[in-house]
Amino acid sequence: MPKVGDVIAGKYRLDKVAGEGGMGVVYAATHLVLKQTVAVKVLLPSAATSEAVVERFAREAQAAARIQSEHVARVMDAGSLASGAPFLVMEFLDGCDLEELLQLQGKLPLADVADYLLQALEALAHAHAVGIVHRDLKPANLFLACRPDGSNAIKMLDFGISKAMTSRPEDKVLTGQAVLGSPVYMSPEQLRNAKEIDSRADLWSLGVVTYELLSGAPPFDGDGVGEIFAAILEKDPTPLHELVPSVPKEFSDIVAKCLERKVEDRWPSAAELASAVAKFGTGAHADVVSSCAQVLTRSKMLHQHTPAEVRRVADAIAAAAERARSTSLGTEPLLLANRKPESATVKDGLRTRALGAAWRMPSVRWMGIAAALMVVIGAFAIFFAVRVTRDTTAAPQTTMVSAAEGATPQDPSSDEGEGASGQGDGNAPMLMDLPETPGQKGTAQRSRGGKGQRPQRPKFLNTRE
């Protein structure tokens, strides 16, 4: 075992022993690089030889690292000593757990208990959202920590026997003396088969903790493990409001619903239990209700009703959209052009992200590029066709008008002859834009102003008719 003053992993100096148990020792330590106080938990040599204990230790680190909640003690690092014993580095908590607080104060006020319960429910909501069941909730695993500003916060500890809701082959069910959990706080289904449980087993345990904090004693107890198990499986606890008259019957009924033996009769989720408990607290944690609901709703959308392939491509859409926005044209991919705003609902947001992710698939991307090229080519073809047609139509009109302005009126008797001879010899008149001459202009004016004379048509117009 390391001693006070030792430096482990090259950066954690052990300052003092903060706690000791049957399996490990917790040190208050200093991170030599960050100058930050941390807690270092090291397994005892006797415990480190047990495969089950080492597995538990690793599971605690992995589970806590997956849960992103203010009310779960953060695991910052993990590793092994030179002896091979594993260690965890966690945030250092200053305060006491609820078991110690209960021993110091006895029964706790309802408003305080409701606040503690709400914070624990937020931690559970985040754990359940990532598929983790704690399985060992009790007052000793709910730590009342002091924040830097002097306020208090509940921190959930010890995910060592936590279980993924999706069973794995390596999960073991321990029987006999090695019970997976603390007997007083275990649900009936956990007693029968610790593998076949879901998030409602944690709500049972939290109901037992609440009952004990308000009454000073757990609802199920006995002289030994056998009697405790029998009470959990068969005995109905005394209603809380009968033991503690200051507790309203409505709150007593909330706790009683947590302790229903049939799983389907309990609160279905941490969010619904938090909604029922919120009005009994001080109001400092009223936002927990909406937070729990949002976390669990998003988890349900992503993990229960979305195929795995869609989840995979949906997770990549944020990066794809960001790349599209950063292009030189500042445009998004074709399928993202009508993307909804970020304030859209979770369901609509998921649909939008899935459509956007489809753009990244090679087949869809090449189809989109081919369609874009066809549109561009078609646009250019239409443009040139219209332009050629316009030029072909406009040229004769311009020439005829110009020629008409520059022509000299001829004698009508000579029009027919010259027109006929023009057609007969096959020599069409050359049409040219010629500048006006003084003689031509005067002739045209005299012709138009002559009395009794009809204006003469230019010869080449008669020829074309």
CB atoms under 10 Å from CB of 437, counted, come to 11
Q: What is the pLDDT of residue 300?
A: 75
Could you report the average pLDDT of every consecutive run of 10 residues in the chain (465 residues)?
92 92 87 94 83 80 82 89 88 93 93 96 91 88 91 86 50 44 88 83 96 96 90 94 96 97 94 95 91 85 54 58 54 44 50 54 62 78 69 50 44 44 46 50 46 55 51
Residue 6, both tokens: 């030792």
**From the CB of residue 303, how many other CB atoms can be counted at a distance below 10 Å?**
15
Both 172 and 241 in one domain: the answer is yes
For residue 6, the domain's CATH number is 3.30.200.20
pLDDT at 310: 47
Backbone angles phi, psi at 130, to 5 degrees: -100, 10
Closest CA to 34 of 92, 105, 108: 92
Cβ neighbours of residue 188 under 8 Å, at least 6 residues apart? 204, 232, 233, 261
Q: What is the pLDDT of residue 104?
A: 92
Same domain for 334 and 450, yes or no, is no
339, two tokens: 């993307």
Q: Tell me the one-letter amino acid at 434.
A: L
User: Which residue range(s) make up the domain with 59?
Assistant: 1-92
Domain count, the chain: 4
Q: What is the pLDDT of residue 160?
A: 63
Do 161 and 241 share a domain, yes or no? yes
| Residues 376, 264 share a domain | no
Determine the Cα–Cα distance for residues 99 and 76; give it in Å rounded to an integer: 25
Residue with tokens 């609802």: 219
pLDDT at 161: 59
Contacts of 248 (CB under 8 A, 6+ apart): 110, 241, 280
Residue 333 has which token pair? 């991919």
> What's the Cα-to-Cα distance from 199 to each of 135, 169, 211, 383, rounded to whole Å?
9, 20, 19, 66
Interatomic CA distance for residues 266 and 264, integer angstroms: 6
Tokens found for residue 182: 């603390």
Look-up: residue for tokens 């009310």?
Answer: 71
What local confidence, expressed as pLDDT, does residue 371 receive? 76
Residue 176: left if φ>0, alpha if ψ -120 to 50, beta else—which one? left
95: helix, strand or coil = strand
Q: Which CATH number goes with the domain that contains 295?
A: 1.10.510.10
Distance CA 233, CA 386 (A): 88
> Which residue numbers are catalytic?
136
In whole angstroms, give the CA distance from residue 386 to residue 57.
78
Looking at 61, 92, 123, the residue that finishes a domain is: 92
Last residue of a domain, one of 70, 92, 114: 92
Instruction: Tell me which residue has tokens 């074709």.
Output: 334
Q: What is the pLDDT of residue 170?
A: 43
Are 347 and 385 in a shared domain? no
Indicate the SS3 state at residue 249: helix
pLDDT of residue 297: 86
**pLDDT at residue number 418:** 45
Does 421 share its domain with 405? Answer: yes
Q: Judge if 67 and 115 occupy the same domain.
A: no
Assess whether 268 and 134 both reside in one domain.
Answer: yes
DSSP string, 125-185: HHHHHTTEE-----GGGEEEEEPTTS-EEEEE---TT-EESS--TT-----TTS-SS-GGG
What is the phi/psi pair of residue 28, to 5°?
-85, 125
Strand partners, 96: 144
Distances (CA, A) of 79 to 5, 31, 85: 19, 15, 9
Amino acid letter, 356:
G
Closest CA to 430 of 465, 409, 402: 402
278, 236: one domain: yes
Q: What is the dihedral of CA 93, 98, 101, 105, to 10 degrees?
A: 160
Q: Are 341 and 211 in the same domain?
A: no
- Same structural domain, 414 and 316: no
Together in a domain, 405 and 340: no
Of 64, 92, 120, the one marking the end of a domain is 92
Count other C-beta atoms under 10 Å from residue 295's C-beta.
21
Q: How far apart are CA 452 and CA 363, in angstroms?
A: 82
- Per cent of the chain over pLDDT 90 is 36
Given a contact cutoff of 8 angstroms between Cβ atoms, the answer to whether 83 and 45 are in contact is yes
Cα(205)–Cα(187) distance, integer angstroms: 7
Pairwise CA distance, residues 276 & 261, whole Å: 20
- pLDDT computed for residue 465 by the predictor: 44
